[in-house]
Structure 1
Amino acid sequence: MDSTQNHQIEVALSTSCLFPPSVPETFSTAVDLGYDSVEVMITGNALSQEPHDLLELVQKFQIPISAIHAPTLLLTQQVWGRAWNKMQMAAKMTNDVGANVIVAHPPFRWQKAYAKNFVEGVREISQAEGVKIAVENMYPWSAAGQEVEMYAPHWDPTRFDYDWMTWDFSHAAAARVDSLEFVKKIGDRLGHVHLTDGSGDKVMDEHLMPGYGSQPVAETLEYLAEKKWNGVVCAEISTKGKSAALRDEMLYETLQFAHRHLGRS
């Protein structure tokens, strides 16, 4: 008997997969396609910021929220005010909606005070609120052919003593690193996975469907299944500019990819 048969890794759908992001439609789509849970990215959309409204969607669609993505993107800098306030509110929301993990980007290099104590600050909030804050791997930016470090203390979370990390395959492609190698390096500190891909030919992240880029996505999922990893793999692919029908085809193919390589099909 396959040793992974009795251990199923959940597959979630991120609200970022629907463009423009639609929280209710993400819940509906996740149920229709057979996803296990939803990851809510906090944006300027009021619904994404309200635990009560999110819990109503959980009840309506009978699907849980497994992760909250803190508003730490460049485009969400105005959401929830100052940097540490974002993390505190994300932690509270995570508890309020019954999620398991917060996905957080590292600070931008101009957020000097925030970056200075980031590793310790993340740990303090995580322990105080009883939630996992999984810092996501990012990538160096490029300007005029030169690498530009946009994140502090660094885009690579494995250089620091974070308790938890999120691994994103598209970001790994943009950084030109091998995901399987890094996931093995992270080990038990892996708290969350963003299922996507990238060619490695672009200076920014592409969020391709898994299997459409250069990253060893299949091999990494198989490794996690073999290790009986205790976490959630969340689809985070770009469907911008696609019709609803084509978008759903892409999301279903992504789910099937995950199931196949996690030993669930």
Structure 2
Amino acid sequence: MTLVALSTASVYPESTAHGFAWAAQVGYDAVEVMVGVDALSQQTSALQQLSEHHEMPICAIHAPCLLWTQRVWGTEPWGKLERSAELATAVGADVVVVHPPFRWQKEYAAGFVDGIAALEESTGIAFAVENMYPWRASQRRGMEMYLPSWDPSDHEYANTTIDLSHAAIARTSVIEMAERLGDRLRHIHLTDGSGSAKDEHLVPGRGAMGAEDFLAHLAARDFAGHIVLEINTRRCSTRAEREADLRESLEFAREHFSVPAR
């Protein structure tokens, strides 16, 4: 069964604990934990307690591979992925979301594709490599900042993630990317973007990515992975505003992830 989950990143700057509470209150099926500077996100026992208290399973762990989490669990990238797999196993998650290496991580990038495959074989966890984007300082010019590629369909990863906000920056069709990935598409970060150079993570339906068509496309092809809402609610000035965005996102996912009548 496809779970509709909430990323704890969606409630930032509130804590990981708040992420579980919001997911339970609004009615999500599960949680994806963003491992970050919040100490709770790094602690197995704390996450187990939050999951049990809120009766909210953890479906995925997002490895600490963002710019602002580069020093979480040290600076050695393979060690961070191994710890992410250990955490996933302990809390019952079956997916670790990972970004491709930055271009300055040349040694890590050189062995990335084979290293991910080896980790999957040794841990039994799916490492779903996420699409990123060229960094754009303007509307016309971009710079490749990820190796071996920002597009996971360029390589033979067994498991991948599509993020609609990232695809908006790259100005690429998520339906076409999904077609290229086929059964290797394991995980979705459902959000939206306008096509600007900013990683907006809009509520799905508020951008230009055709999120409703993408969900219908997935449903028609019997997608059985996780759909995780990863939106930006930092501009919400009240709890009521944040709840409204989280609820609208969940309702959008459930409305549009449906198989057309035949």
* Both structures adopt the same fold (TM-score exceeding 0.5): yes
CA distance in 2, matches of 1:61, 1:147: 43
In the alignment, does 2:72 pair up with 1:79? yes
> Residue type matched to 1:257 in 2?
F
How far is the alpha carbon of 1:241 from its aligned partner?
2.4
In the alignment, does 2:145 pair up with 1:147? no
How far is the alpha carbon of 1:148 from its aligned partner?
1.1
- The 5 A counterparts of 1:48-127 are 48-81=41-74, 82-127=76-121
**In the alignment, which residue of structure 2 is the partner of 1:4?**
none
In the alignment, does 2:39 pair up with 1:46? yes
**In the alignment, which residue of structure 2 is the partner of 1:205?**
199
CA distance in 2, matches of 1:21, 1:105: 23
CA distance in 2, matches of 1:172, 1:142: 13
Consecutive unaligned residues of structure 1, counting only runs of 5 or more, are: 1-7
Contact 1:141 1:204 in 2 (8 A): no
> Residue type matched to 2:109 in 1?
A
**In the alignment, which residue of structure 2 is the partner of 1:252?**
247
CA distance in 2, matches of 1:146, 1:225: 35
CA distance in 2, matches of 1:103, 1:192: 8
CA distance in 2, matches of 1:32, 1:45: 21
CA distance in 2, matches of 1:105, 1:255: 25
Consecutive unaligned residues of structure 2, counting only runs of 5 or more, are: none
Contact 2:212 2:256 in 1 (8 A): yes
Contact 2:96 2:127 in 1 (8 A): yes
What is the DSSP-based 3-state SS (H/G/I as helix, E as strand, rest coil) of the residue aligned with 2:4? Answer: strand
CA distance in 2, matches of 1:175, 1:119: 21
**In the alignment, which residue of structure 1 is the partner of 2:188?**
193
Contact 2:188 2:226 in 1 (8 A): yes
> Residue type matched to 2:220 in 1?
E
> Residue type matched to 1:17 in 2?
S
How far is the alpha carbon of 1:89 from its aligned partner?
0.4
CA distance in 1, matches of 2:103, 2:156: 19
**What is the CA deviation profile of residues 63-118 of structure 1, one whole-angstrom value per residue up to 9, with x for unaligned ones?**
10000000000110001111111100001111010001011000000001000000
In the alignment, does 2:22 pair up with 1:29? yes
What is the DSSP-based 3-state SS (H/G/I as helix, E as strand, rest coil) of the residue aligned with 2:207? Answer: coil
How far is the alpha carbon of 1:9 from its aligned partner?
2.3
**What is the CA deviation profile of residues 217-256 of structure 1, one whole-angstrom value per residue up to 9, with x for unaligned ones?**
1111112112221111000010012122101100100000
CA distance in 2, matches of 1:77, 1:26: 22
What is the DSSP-based 3-state SS (H/G/I as helix, E as strand, rest coil) of the residue aligned with 2:234? Answer: coil
Tell me the matched-pair count: 256
In the alignment, does 2:190 pair up with 1:174? no
> Residue type matched to 1:136 in 2?
E
Q: TM-score, structure 1 length as denominator? A: 0.94
CA distance in 2, matches of 1:204, 1:136: 17
Contact 2:137 2:197 in 1 (8 A): no
CA distance in 2, matches of 1:58, 1:19: 18
**What is the CA deviation profile of residues 22-66 of structure 1, one whole-angstrom value per residue up to 9, with x for unaligned ones?**
111111111111100000000011110011110011111111000
What is the DSSP-based 3-state SS (H/G/I as helix, E as strand, rest coil) of the residue aligned with 1:151? Answer: coil
What is the DSSP-based 3-state SS (H/G/I as helix, E as strand, rest coil) of the residue aligned with 1:192? Answer: strand
> Residue type matched to 1:163 in 2?
A
**What is the CA deviation profile of residues 170-219 of structure 1, one whole-angstrom value per residue up to 9, with x for unaligned ones?**
0000000011111121110011000100011x112110111111112111
How far is the alpha carbon of 1:263 from its aligned partner?
2.5
Percent of aligned pairs sharing the same letter: 46
CA distance in 2, matches of 1:90, 1:57: 18
Larger displacement relative to structure 2 (227-236 or 131-140): 227-236
How far is the alpha carbon of 1:21 from its aligned partner?
4.1
Q: TM-score, structure 2 length as denominator? A: 0.95
